[in-house]
Amino acid sequence: MTTAEVDARKDTIRRQVWNLLDQQGVVAGDGSAHGRIPNFVGAEAAADRLAALPEWEAASVIKAVPDKAQLPARARALRAGKVVYMAAPKLAPPQPFYLLDPAELIVPAEDAASSRIAPSVARNVGLDELRPVDLIVCGSVAVNRHGVRLGKGAGYSDIEVALLAQAGLIGPATTIVTTVHPLQVIEGDIPETSHDFSVDVIVTTDEVITCAPPRRPGGLDWDDLSADQIAAMPILQSLQNNR
């Protein structure tokens, strides 16, 4: 498949899943699933199931996306005393991660874990201040049982994982998990490109799916990054200047 065909197929899958979630009424709140990582009904139950996994129990440092669907997982991590690095929206700040350290929080975990409140209570940190990450919690629009996932199409999660890999902060022992509604788990193939990562484990409201060994980048693929992406993310500009 050409790049254009891969992108078109991915967009088709996203629309199908977004439409299905809206039709079945499993999006939390009054909003639509379209254009975002769906905030699915049952996100709390999925976080509970995630917290029962041995990989979660063993993790002391977690990197998580800022999406609402993963808020319960971030809050659970903080309540359990785990350090959480949460990506800032669009990786826009020069230091693009929020450090959520339970030992330093001045608000309840549920508030600190919110992408709305975290910027006012957490310190921004760059790659040079991050500790090695034990477990990554990512959001997905769609995922299949082989662990191949789709985000909403902006590519931020792929860049975040590539940044961590390039900095030596994740490796084969790092577990990558996604929490989703069961309707987001599809049976068909999902096309992959060189910069896509896959997941080790899928956690839904009612099951845990262990996937094949994950596919993850060894670092940034500069050929896959557009000039607009680099211009919008100071961390990419800095790394490019130091190549």
**Average pLDDT score over residue span 203-208:** 96
**Average pLDDT score over residue span 47-55:** 97
In percent, how much of the chain has pLDDT > 90?
82
Residue 212: pLDDT band (50, 70, 90) is confident
Residue 209: pLDDT band (50, 70, 90) is very high
Assigned fold of 3-241: Rossmann fold (3.40.50)
Q: Report pLDDT for 4.
A: 87
DSSP labels, the chain: --HHHHHHHHHHHHHHHHHHHHHHT-BSSSS-STTS---BTTHHHHHHHHHTSHHHHH-SEEEE---GGGHHHHHHHHHTT-EEEEEPGGG-SSS-EEEE-TTT-SS-HHHHTSTTTHHHHSEEE-GGGPPPPSEEEE--SEEETTSBEE-SSS-HHHHHHHHHHHTTS--TT-EEEEE--GGGEESS-----TT--B-SEEE-SS-EEE-SSPP--SS--GGGS-HHHHHH-HHHHHHHHT-
Instruction: For the chain, give every domain's residue range.
Output: 3-241
Residue 214 has pLDDT above 80, yes or no: no
Least confident of 29-33, 39-43, 198-202, 236-240: 29-33
Residue 190 has pLDDT above 90, yes or no: yes
**Average pLDDT score over residue span 124-150:** 97
Residue 195: pLDDT band (50, 70, 90) is confident
Q: Report pLDDT for 152.
A: 93
Residue 79 has pLDDT above 90, yes or no: yes
Give the mean pLDDT of the chain. Answer: 94
Whole-structure pTM value = 0.95
Residue 213 has pLDDT above 90, yes or no: no
Residue 138: pLDDT band (50, 70, 90) is very high
